[in-house]
Structure 1
Amino acid sequence: MKKIKPDIIKDIIGSNIEGIDAVTVVPVIPLGDAARKVIESIEKGFVPESYHWTREKTEHAYRYKNYSAWARSVIVAAISYYTDEKYPKDQLTGRIARFTWRNNYRYLSLKLEKAVKALGKTLGVKIKSKSLSNYTSLPEKALFNYSGIARFGKNSVLLNRDMGSYFVIGEALTDLEVEFDRIDPLKPPDFSPCGECERCLRACPTGAIVQAGEIDIKRCFQYISENLILMPVSYREKWGNRLYGCSECIDVCPFNRNLDPRAPKHNTGYVGQGVNLIEILKMGAEQWERLFHENQVGIRDKNAILKNAITSLGYLGYRKSLKYLLSFLEHENKIIRAYTAWAIGKINTKTGKKRLISRYKDETVDSVRTEIEPFL
């Protein structure tokens, strides 16, 4: 089969698949320069050890090692997730970051799979492909910056004139031979859409955006919300009523003003804008699975999400949560006990202090005892 023009591929997808807001085709370009930037972040200690992301893994991914034997082109696509839905005003509803209200990654991956089938049927060929979204073994953002669909902002989030940064990206690697007019080399991000604006840098609660395009992931509330780790008290004082995720650097971006709420309110992995914090403390395994099993939250350690709810209740100083929190002082996980001690101390009741004193006598883990000591 002769090589296919990119516009033909785009037209076929546009004619057959609804709901993809932007799509184009790019070659399987060398990504060595982008890999070096990631390796620099690893060497600076900005990438958590829990990611198990090494120089070797980076070089493997940025050379398309899982797909290099057959991949010849990449269909890149984006869908907006911006709807007219609003966050609830009730502070006891633990906030879920907008991009996690639904599983838009899964939603887009399914559309890409359908797009490849439509291509194969229209062109009369069998296409080998792999559809991905939010997949760390492929440098998605670098491909999108290259494609022109979106450009890097200073917060390392992609920006698009029509969708702002409220969109998710995905790609389908294919064995289609595509006739590109020219193949330009990969260029480093210049953050040109941002101009002199640095709102995102100033908005980050923990200063995780070190400089344009450089993120200390270990300080990012998104990362912290995903993992069962003990964050500094200074971070907890800025936590708010988060349950999962953080989008403050996105929400302040001028590109996200006056957007068209174009995104469909689909049901794939839908969990909504938040969940009552007390309900999270009370929730059993069956209810948890029912609520989160198709959503990104569901792939996280339940204790990581539980620790978010406990931190939020401590931040809010919500006294009625005390009767639920007290039992978590006996939790088998030391990190949960540590957060619980801090939250009970912040709520500051006689009953809570009495239980902290009692727990301090029995507690054998230094990190938990350290959390109790300021409230004795």
Structure 2
Amino acid sequence: MNVDTLKQSVIDYSKEIGIDKIGFASADVFGELKERLKQQQSLGYQSGFEKGTLEERTEPNRLLPEAKSIISIAIAYPSRMKDAPKSTKESRRGIFCRASWGTDYHDVLRKKISKLAAFLKQQTPDLQSKLMVDTGELSDRAVAERAGIGFSGKNTSIITPEFGSFVYLGELITNIPFKPDSPIEEGCGECTKCMDACPTGALVQGGQLNAQRCIAFLTQTKDFLPDEFRDKIGNRVYGCDTCQMVCPWNKQVDFHLHPELEPEPEIAKPKLKPMLRISNRVFKETFGHISGSWRGKKPLQRNALIALGHFKDKTAVDELIPVMRQDPRPVIRGTAAWSLGKIGTEKAFDAIQEAMNEEENEQVLFEMEKGLQFKKLHEKEG
């Protein structure tokens, strides 16, 4: 089978196994990306979650010495939730970003790319390949852009003409010299809606993100959240969709093509109070199958505490007090104290004052002081 025929058979097979879009790229060095990554490093804009060296992230033959081409795939995911539960005064809810609504996409895409690799192996017994989804060294977006899956938007997402930016990306490096597809023309034009809407100014300029300020990154950190971002994250317990939701390319875009990627409303919009004291076992049973659980329960609990403060949820005071006093983790105790101060009832302030007599951790004590500072603000406003 010649390479052109094989390429068409791969495209046909990809449709059979539920791949929504497929493209082919050369395995040449990503020179432009390398320069951009060097700049990101020098500016301190990286998240720290990146895998591999600069060379591994931009030179496919470092990952597969015989690399000749890269197959890029895209899977569309929903942007709207049917029967979304409402947040009420008695039962406030947080929200996971859309990319974490269904079954962990890493698993879903790996299965599909593995099938693609097995299909290729049948046709080409001497196939060499390496698959990656998100956590690999290569930039999924750079590969997808080169393969014509979509263009790189000012919000740093790959935007496809068919599915907007609500797509998961993955790739398969191969030793087969497939003819590469052509990149798509950039389609943002003069639009800056994503940059204007970013809550923290993380989109420094079109196509450049300071990950250290990005809410999607910040919700995944495990330490105390810097003060300037606490009001900005609102009720987000994981991730952020703002720059995608305001994008004109995503207007009216909502695809429900894969049952395993459908949101489970009670998980995608969880009640906040039950998250505070959830056991490891229940956490894994409830959230373990979604991508938003990968950092464990601590960041999500910290974010839930901040969200309760954001809502000024007086019904949470009785649950926040034991968390502040008894949780073994300083970040959780301290954030609970901050949240109690933000809610601002007399009982909350009294509890913080009382807990300070027993607390020994300096960071927690500092957060308790911050919590008490809200009392002066409440008195001014009163």
Please give the TM-score of this superposition, normalised by the length of structure 2: 0.87
Residue 34 of structure 1: CA displacement? 0.4
2:85 is aligned to 88
Q: Which whole-Å CA distance do the structure 2 matches of 1:177 and 1:41 have between them?
A: 32
Aligned ranges for residues 1-376 of structure 1 at < 5 Å?
A: 3-4=3-4, 7-14=7-14, 16-17=16-17, 19-48=18-47, 50-51=48-49, 57-64=53-60, 66-82=62-78, 84-86=80-82, 87-90=84-87, 92-102=92-102, 103-121=104-122, 123=123, 125-178=125-178, 180=179, 192-266=186-260, 272-330=267-325, 331-376=327-372
Q: Is the 8 A contact 1:217 1:223 kept in 2?
A: yes
Q: Which whole-Å CA distance do the structure 1 matches of 2:321 and 2:53 have between them?
A: 43
Q: Which whole-Å CA distance do the structure 2 matches of 1:85 and 1:374 have between them?
A: 37
3-state SS of the aligned residue for 1:371? helix
Over 3 Å counting, the alpha-carbon distance change for 1:375 and 1:131 in structure 2 is closer
Residue 32 of structure 1: CA displacement? 2.2
What is the identity, as a one-letter code, of the residue corresponding to 1:20? I
Q: Which whole-Å CA distance do the structure 2 matches of 1:325 and 1:79 have between them?
A: 40
Residue 230 of structure 1: CA displacement? 2.2
Q: Is the 8 A contact 2:156 2:207 kept in 1?
A: yes
CA-to-aligned-CA distance 1:315-341 (integer Å, 9 cap, x gap): 111111112111221322222122111
Q: Which whole-Å CA distance do the structure 1 matches of 2:195 and 2:261 have between them?
A: 33
3-state SS of the aligned residue for 1:78? strand
Mark the runs of 5 or more structure 1 residues left unpaired by the alignment. none
Q: Which whole-Å CA distance do the structure 2 matches of 1:354 and 1:219 have between them?
A: 34
Q: Which whole-Å CA distance do the structure 2 matches of 1:77 and 1:268 have between them?
A: 19
Q: Which whole-Å CA distance do the structure 1 matches of 2:125 and 2:350 have between them?
A: 73
Q: Is the 8 A contact 1:81 1:104 kept in 2?
A: no
Q: Calculate percent identity across the aligned residue pairs.
A: 25
Please give the TM-score of this superposition, normalised by the length of structure 1: 0.89
Q: Which whole-Å CA distance do the structure 2 matches of 1:130 and 1:136 have between them?
A: 10
How much is the aligned-residue C-alpha RMSD, in angstroms?
2.6
What is the identity, as a one-letter code, of the residue corresponding to 1:245? G
Q: Is the 8 A contact 1:292 1:298 kept in 2?
A: yes
Q: Is the 8 A contact 1:269 1:292 kept in 2?
A: no
CA-to-aligned-CA distance 1:107-143 (integer Å, 9 cap, x gap): 122111112222333x253533222211241121111
Residue 342 of structure 1: CA displacement? 0.7
Q: Is the 8 A contact 1:209 1:215 kept in 2?
A: yes
Q: Which whole-Å CA distance do the structure 2 matches of 1:124 and 1:140 have between them?
A: 25
Q: Identify the range of structure 1 (287-296 vs 82-91) with the bigger mean alpha-carbon deviation.
A: 82-91
Q: Is the 8 A contact 2:154 2:207 kept in 1?
A: yes
Q: Which whole-Å CA distance do the structure 2 matches of 1:315 and 1:83 have between them?
A: 24
Over 3 Å counting, the alpha-carbon distance change for 1:374 and 1:125 in structure 2 is closer
Q: Is the 8 A contact 2:305 2:339 kept in 1?
A: yes
Over 3 Å counting, the alpha-carbon distance change for 1:101 and 1:209 in structure 2 is same
Q: Across the two proteins, how many residue pairs are aligned to each other?
A: 365
3-state SS of the aligned residue for 2:232? coil
Q: Which whole-Å CA distance do the structure 1 matches of 2:223 and 2:247 have between them?
A: 29
Q: Identify the range of structure 1 (157-166 vs 111-120) with the bigger mean alpha-carbon deviation.
A: 111-120
Q: Which whole-Å CA distance do the structure 2 matches of 1:131 and 1:280 have between them?
A: 35
CA-to-aligned-CA distance 1:2-59 (integer Å, 9 cap, x gap): 6445742443424642x211102212121122011012111101124x4376xx8122
Q: Which whole-Å CA distance do the structure 1 matches of 2:6 and 2:72 have between them?
A: 11
Q: Which whole-Å CA distance do the structure 1 matches of 2:80 and 2:322 have between them?
A: 39
Over 3 Å counting, the alpha-carbon distance change for 1:356 and 1:260 in structure 2 is closer
Residue 294 of structure 1: CA displacement? 2.4
